[in-house]
A and B are shown apart, each in its own frame.
Chain A
Amino acid sequence: MKHFTKLVRPYIIWAVVIILLPLLLIVLYSVTTGGNDLVNIQFTLDNFRRMTEPVYLAVFAKSFRLGLTAVGICLFAGYILAYFITFFSERTQSLLILLVTIPMWINTLLRTYAWICLLSDNGAVNTLLQMLGFQPVTMMYTDFAVLIGLVSDLLPFMVLPIHTSLCKIDHSLHEAAMDLGANKVQTFWRVTFKLSLPGVLNGIIMTFLLSISTFVIPKLLGGGQYMLIGNLIENQFISVGDWNFGSAISVILAFIILLAITGMKQFDQEEGEEE
């Protein structure tokens, strides 16, 4: 199989040019000023200093709060869904999993527009509520709307990895646990849940990543006042035109995320070693 080591080479070149170089450029922009031309640049840390202003810290806090809430809801609802799906025959399971995947093929933006139409003050949900004799509720441009949009976008990313790891669990382990006197709850937490942890972690990482950097869903469902990190970055690049500050925010975001993920992976490994 030695012959195949050469196969890696194209990717190494590719990765350096298309993955590492852009990152270096972002870092370069983040520590310089002098506009968007690379001709007359000056090194500075001002871009990072600006980040410590309370307004920007608040944006970070809000993004993390929202991201974690969305992940929490996805985890709860998604785990149950993935778990229930495993009750069915293999053929039904693959059909169900496919049904989970299909929404990902429909444009996210389109689905978000559909939520606007459902949730707006005179939208479908409120019309239904009124028909049933309830008071209409304001849902658009609230946390609720943004969360609904995020969860419906992210749920498949949570269900798929969890289902994959649930499927890998050997059924005889359950029986063994039961034989050894564990009750159902114990069996679930000690065996099933523990063995599905890799999938859970993958799901958490995936949904967290997507929710923390989103900018379209909060913009459309939360309105302009729903300022998250993604919106802040987009603003700097698209409307303000301050690429240096925008790069600095990106660098910090990337750094925090890498830290968080490394932490989670560490946790995963330690868990693994315990067993």
Chain B
Amino acid sequence: MKKNPFKKGICLLLGTLLAACLLGGCGNSGKPVLKVYSWGEYLDTSLLSEFEKEYDCKVIYETFDSNESMYTKLQSGETYDILVPSDYMIERLIKEDRLQPIDWSLVPNAAGLDEAVMGEEFDPDNTYSVPFFYGSVGILYDTTVVDDADLSDGWELLRNPKYAEDIYMYDSERDSFMPALKALGYSMNTTNHEEIDQAYEWLIDQRDTMDPVYVGDDVMDNMISGNKALAVVYSGDAAYTMRENEDLAFFEPKEGTNIWQDAMVITSDCTEVELAHAYIDFMLEPEHAYANTVEVGYTSPVVEARTKAAEEDFAGIPAYLPSTLGDNNEVFRYQDQETKEYFSELWTKVKAAN
């Protein structure tokens, strides 16, 4: 029998490690626990320990990479105290009775919020949601490659054969159908199958002629490195990317775009209601909001923090202050199950088509 002298050694090492870990195992203290579920890399994490110290509690901070995966987690029986999802998902959570109303008297820092981003259609009176970040969606382009004159194409720029094989699209059904629907002049919240089918044809045609790459957040590193000329991105990602690569610029097509908002909500499962409000208030404190917006690059709804960041950290980067007022701009709305399934099946087909 052949012996391997290393195997035994490694097994021994593993055994010692195990013993060490078991001895060093930690006990649980009786502090109140707050479970927060938010987008990945969406705040300055040092704030969490600061909050823990200030309120003598423990924050369990979990992250997700899409609204849908967050929803799946909830569906599989997971419970949280605070969620930070986007507009249409908040609307869905409200409809399904998964949230509890915010007690605004416990959030004094809300006075610093920009009125313009309050009262969006998904939660008209802000009964349930406290804005955390907001922005638009537009096209990030490499000024050394893209001709300024072509920008007048609007979203059709994404089908301009000059830039074939030079495009990143978002790998998410709603974010990819949005440019197609807008380019065709439809609402991005349409439920009309004919319009959706046309948008599907638009995407298939784009896929055939332009050969775009559907990416997730790796788009940012790719654009920083200047790998391709065009990318559909969120304004906050654009601001972050432009800070790293000066050749990039950002524009919002004239046909209108998606104005999105991510907001903090308290779930109906939450038992530490006061602590949850304290957390929300803590995040709206101008200094903390400033730390977050600088770390992430997304636009803060807290006026004081936003002004400071725009003047100091994002000077000369217009993407940091997206224009939210355009006539054709919209906010994503809740989709009923039937429309949602229709979209996702078509999107699967766009991606899988050869």
The one of B2, B5, B165, B216 in contact with A224, judged by C-beta atoms closer than 8 angstroms, is: B216
Q: B220-264, CB under 8 A of A: which get 1 and which 0?
A: 001001111000000000000000000000000000000000000
Residues of chain A from 205 to 255 with CB closer than 8 A to chain B in the complex: 219-220, 223-225, 227, 232, 235, 237-242
| Stretch of B150-158, B298-306, B343-351 at the chain-chain interface | B343-351
Tell me if A141 and B213 are in contact (CB < 8 A).
yes
CB <8 Å contact, A55 and B348: yes
B214–A225 touching, CB < 8 Å: yes
A36-B215 contact given A55-B349, A122-B226, A225-B207, CB 8 Å threshold: no
The interface residues of chain B lying within 8 Å CB-to-CB of A55 are 348-349, 352-353
Which range holds the interface residue count of chain A?
35 or more
Q: Which of A56, A97, A240 contacts B344 (CB 8 A)?
A: A240
* Residues of chain B from 65 to 110 with CB closer than 8 A to chain A in the complex: 66, 68-69, 71-72, 75-76
**Contact, CB under 8 Å: A122 / B227:** yes
Instruction: Give residues of chain A (3-46) contacting chain B, Cβ–Cβ below 8 Å.
Output: 36
Q: State whether B214 touches A224 (Cβ < 8 A).
A: yes
The 8 Å CB contact of B6, one of A98, A219, A223, is: A98
A121-B227, A238-B72 are contacts. A97–B215 as well, Cβ < 8 Å?
A: no
Q: Is B218 an interface residue (CB 8 A)?
A: yes
> How long is the Cα–Cα vector from A238 to B226 in the complex, in angstroms?
31
CB of A174 within 8 Å of the partner chain: no
Shortest Cβ gap from A100 to chain B (Å) = 12
A173 within 8 Å of B (CB atoms): no
Is B29 an interface position by the 8 A CB rule?
no
Number of cross-chain contacts by CB at 8 Å: 85
Secondary structure class of chain A's binding surface, majority of residues: helix
Known: A94-B5, A238-B68, A241-B68. A224 touches B171 (CB 8 A): yes
A141-B213, A224-B171, A225-B213 known; A58 vs B354 contact (CB < 8 Å): yes
Q: For residue A59, which residues in chain B have a CB less than 8 angstroms away from its CB?
A: 352
Q: Which residues of B contact A111 (CB under 8 A)?
A: none
Given A223-B213, A223-B215, A239-B69, A90:B2 Cβ within 8 A: yes
Q: Is A85 an interface residue (CB 8 A)?
A: no
A232-B348 in contact (CB<8A): yes
Answer whether residue A257 sits at the interface, using C-beta atoms and an 8 A cutoff.
no
Considering the complex, give the chain A residue whose CB is closest to the CB of B349.
Answer: A55
User: Chain A residues with Cβ under 8 A from B225's Cβ?
Assistant: 120-123
From A58, A122, A219, A240, B341 is in contact (CB under 8 Å) with A240
A162 at the interface (CB under 8 A from B): no
Q: If A62-B354, A224-B216 touch, does A167 touch B341 (CB 8 Å cutoff)?
A: no
**Nearest neighbor of B171 in chain A, beta-carbon distance:** A224
Q: Give bound CA distance, A237 to B302, whole Å.
A: 36
Q: Is the CB of B4 within 8 A of A97?
A: yes
The 6 closest A-B pairs by CB, nearest first: A224-B214, A224-B171, A239-B68, A121-B227, A227-B352, A223-B213
- 6 additional contacts, CB 8 Å, given A120-B225, A121-B228, A225-B213? A55-B349, A120-B227, A223-B171, A239-B66, A239-B68, A240-B341
